Amino acid sequence: MQKMQIIKTMSLALALLISPNIAHADWTIIHAGKLLATPGKAPVTNASIIIHNDKITEVKSGFVGEDSVDAGEENVTIIDLSDKFVLPGLIDSHVHLTSESNTPFNEGILESTEYQTVIGVKNAAITLQAGFTTVADLGSSTYSAYALRDAINEGLIQGPRILAAGASISVTGGHADPTNNLPDKWWGDRTDINISQCNGADDCRYRVRNLAKRGSDIIKITATGGVLSQQGRGLDQHFTQEEMIAIVETAHLLGLKVTAHAHGTEGIKAAIRAGIDSIEHSTIIDAEGARMARRAGTYLIPTLTAYYGVEIGVENGLFTPPVLAKIEAISKVRYEAFPNVFARGNKIAFGTDAGVFEHGLNALEFGRMVEASGMSAMTAIETATVNAADHLGVSDTVGTITAGKYADIIAVNGDPLADVTALEHVSFVMKGGEIAKSE
């Protein structure tokens, strides 16, 4: 005989920390007061989302009961979100779950992979609680992001679905080379420091293949200098055109997309010419670069909230002189590029660089995107659902509340189409049919 439960409001936080799978049912019916099933299309009122195990089977008009499913002997749970705004789980295309924003450089750089993995366990749970059910982790220590992803997939810990890049590919002395301006004695006998620096096209091909072998879901390169690393060689192009082409060709042959950290104008253009799939930051992109990205179909990921994290770090005295010099340089020009980043027709995906600022505050990016570009709240939500899923190549499983996709669903008390900052306060989170948060 069927069992039926009615879940209205309850606190699951303690129970979920003990067992991530505690809130799972065979069949689940969610009553949504307002439902934005596919961002970009108008929301509907009073709808039911029918879920079997981890997948959505149907979306129906009105509030249906347990007799609407052929459950047999399986359990049926009805979740009452009739006073909520319901939408797909959010996607952050750029996080660093194993990094902390409040750690001074000289401490964070020496943390072991094992310790960083533990940090990632904490931050993965925080990120999921904030409503982000899928993320791309773009740059971690040797194996930490892979371990985190696999543990979540196996149900051992709570966190979002992770597409893990692993270590970022950099030129020697580039943005993702942690040994910049540091004596060798710091590193002792560690063998995990220089696993992703490359020099020359053949060496770069090898690095891509090695990361694919280790388990990368996406390849991340640092096409230009970066703000928060110890390299003091500016913010523009680091790889040669030949090297970037070799990386892209090799990754694409292996079925992997390539995303490029890129601040400087010419470095951005060189990455687009090389066939890079997406540009992280796009900080000093000019009108020509924006046109190139538009023609090539290259996604731009603005990561505007990263600057918030930088400002906090400056206030807390976390940065060394080489970093402070780059922060000063970029602060003078970053606002000038906003019209080019958000140029009409460019593909934009949501990404934050969480880890540069405090994890769990990812949704701050929505307000910053709307303010910087004048885009509508609906368009901003599209960047974190439909667009981000397309950018990461996971549109067949996430990004909308559609039959056949994972039951990744969130709810908020306000109307994010009227005020997008409502997404900063998520009251309900479901990932794969399991409740991760219910206030």
* Residue 421 CB burial class (10 angstroms; 0-12, 13-18, ≥19): middle
Q: What is the mean pLDDT of residues 90-97?
A: 98
Give the pLDDT score at 194: 62
User: Using one digit for the tens of pLDDT, what is the confidence trace for 295-327?
Assistant: 999 999 999 999 999 999 999 998 889 899 999
Give the pLDDT score at 5: 43
pLDDT bucket at 334, cuts 50 / 70 / 90: confident
Give the pLDDT score at 87: 98
State the Cα–Cα distance between residues 305 and 52, nearest whole angstrom.
37
pTM over 0.85: yes
Q: What is the mean pLDDT of residues 332-346?
A: 92
Which helix (DSSP H) or strand (DSSP E) does residue 249 occupy?
helix 241-253
pLDDT bucket at 11, cuts 50 / 70 / 90: very low
Domains of the chain plus CATH, in order, are 4-89+400-438 (2.30.40.10), 90-392 (3.20.20.140)
> What amino acid occupies position 311?
E
Q: What does residue 19 show for φ and ψ, rounded to 5 degrees?
A: -145, 110
Give the pLDDT score at 183: 66
pLDDT bucket at 145, cuts 50 / 70 / 90: very high
Which is nearest to 373 in space by CA: 415, 420, 414? Answer: 420
Confidence check: pLDDT of 13 > 50: no
Give the pLDDT score at 235: 92
State the Cα–Cα distance between residues 362 and 90, nearest whole angstrom.
10
User: Using one digit for the tens of pLDDT, what is the confidence trace for 189-212?
Assistant: 665 666 789 999 999 999 999 999
Give the pLDDT score at 165: 97
Give the pLDDT score at 67: 92
